[in-house]
Amino acid sequence: MRAKLGTATAERISRSHAQAPRLSALRGENQEPVASGLDRLIHERMRLGIVSALAANPSLTFNELKALLRTTDGNLSVHARKLEEATYISCTKMLDGRLPKTRYRLTAAGRRAFERYLDHMESLIRAAREK
């Protein structure tokens, strides 16, 4: 292959294939678990913030979450959609006068997943302290 494509081209292809797992990990796809039982969907920083905020509040609007997490519209909407697709949160869209308002709630499945996540993190902390 190197003879036909040239060394520089073959090296670029090799590097891009080596980066593929890292890029898929950033997208939340095909990841190996960090530790057995750890929910990778919740473990990502922004999604953990969303789930934690909703666990502490009955519901929050998009703007309340955005301000609380100090993030952008696009970043929040992408991560919220991932959690919604996993049925960890529910999204209700309504009008407040003429203004659209999006409200999020943690679902029962989301609360159970968050509790499992917290239990797992607590066991990792205990194990680390025992060493």
Q: What is the CATH number of domain 39-130?
A: 1.10.10.10
H/E run at residue 23? helix 7-26
Q: Are 107 and 51 in contact (CB under 8 A)?
A: no
Please count the other Cβ atoms lying within 10 Å of the Cβ belonging to residue 105: 14
Residue with tokens 């040239």: 6
Q: Strand pairing partners for 91?
A: 104
Pairwise CA distance, residues 130 & 80, whole Å:
36
User: Nearest 10 degrees: CA dihedral of 61, 108, 88, 71?
Assistant: 30
Domain boundaries, the chain: 1-32, 39-130
Pairwise CA distance, residues 100 & 94, whole Å:
6
Residue with tokens 């953990």: 48
Question: pLDDT per position in the chain (131 positions), as tens?
Answer: 444 545 555 555 555 444 444 444 445 555 444 466 788 999 999 999 999 999 999 999 999 999 999 999 999 999 999 999 999 999 999 998 999 999 999 999 999 999 999 999 999 999 888 87
Q: What is the largest CA-CA distance in the chain?
A: 67
Pairwise CA distance, residues 65 & 117, whole Å:
21
